[in-house]
Amino acid sequence: MKAGFVQFAPEFCNYDRNLVLVEDILDASDQVDLLVLPELANSGYNFASREQAFANAEEVNDSRFIKVLHEYCRRRKSYVASGFNERVGDQLFNSAILVGPDGLIGKYQKIHLFLNEKDIFTPGEAGLPVFATPIGRLGLLVCFDWIFPEVWRILALKGADIICHCSNLVLPGFAQRSVPIHALINHFYVITANRIGSEGSLTFTGMSTIADPRGNVLYQAGPDTMELRFFNFDLEKARNKQMTPRNDLFADRRPEMYQELLKL
CB-wise, 114 or 233, nearer to ligand ACM? 114
Active site residue 199: no
**Cα angle 248, 253, 258; round to 5:** 165
Per CB under 6 A, the list member of 168, 176, 194, 205 interacting with ligand ACM is 168
Catalytic option among 13, 73, 110, 164: 110
Alpha carbon 252 to chain centroid, angstroms: 29
Interface segment toward ligand ACM; rule CB under 6 A; list 25-33, 84-92, 127-135, 165-173: 165-173
Among positions 170, 179, 193, 218, the unique one binding ligand ACM when judged by CB under 6 A: 170
**Contact residues for 101 (Cβ-Cβ < 8 A; gap 6+):** 73, 74, 77, 78, 79
Report the C-alpha gap between 5 and 162 in whole angstroms. Answer: 12
User: Which residue(s) pair with 2 in the sheet?
Assistant: 232
- Residue 143 found at the interface with ligand ACM (CB under 6 A): yes
39 is catalytic: yes
Per the DSSP assignment, residues forming a β-bridge with 193 are: 166
Largest separation between any pair of C-alpha atoms in the chain: 57
* CA–CA separation, 52 and 202 (whole Å): 17
Segment lying near ligand ACM (by CB under 6 A), choices 1-9, 73-81, 167-175, 183-191: 167-175
Instruction: Calculate the CA 61 to chain-centre distance.
Output: 20
Q: Does 144 bind ligand ACM (CB under 6 A)?
A: yes
Secondary structure class of 156 (helix, strand, coil): helix
- For the chain, how big is the Rg over CA atoms in Å? 18
Name the segment binding ligand ACM (CB under 6 A); options: 14-22, 27-35, 162-170, 182-190: 162-170
C-beta closer to ligand ACM: residue 144 or 230 = 144
Q: Give CA angle at 239 (237, 241), nearest 5°.
A: 90
Q: CB of 13: closest distance to ligand ACM in angstroms?
A: 16
Catalytic residue from among 39, 86, 117, 199: 39
Exactly one of 39, 161, 199, 212 binds ligand ACM (CB under 6 A); that residue is: 39
Among candidate residues 143, 164, 166, 199, the one labeled active-site is 143
- Kindly identify the residues of this chain, within the stretch 85-114, that bind ligand ACM according to CB under 6 A: 114
Check if the beta carbon of residue 135 is closer than 8 Å to that of residue 171: no
Query: Among positive and negative, which fits the CA dihedral 9, 71, 68, 119?
Result: negative
Q: Which C-beta is closer to ligand ACM: that of 47 or that of 189? A: 47
Q: Which is nearer to ligand ACM, 72 or 144 (CB)?
A: 144
Contact assessment for residue 168 and residue 195, using Cβ atoms and an 8 Å cutoff: yes
Is residue 169 close enough to count as binding ligand ACM by CB under 6 A? Answer: yes
Quote the least distance from Cβ 232 to ligand ACM, whole Å.
Answer: 29
Does 143 participate in catalysis according to the annotation? Answer: yes
Residues annotated catalytic, as ranges: 39, 110, 143
User: Contact positions toward ligand ACM, by CB under 6 A?
Assistant: 39, 114, 143-144, 168-170
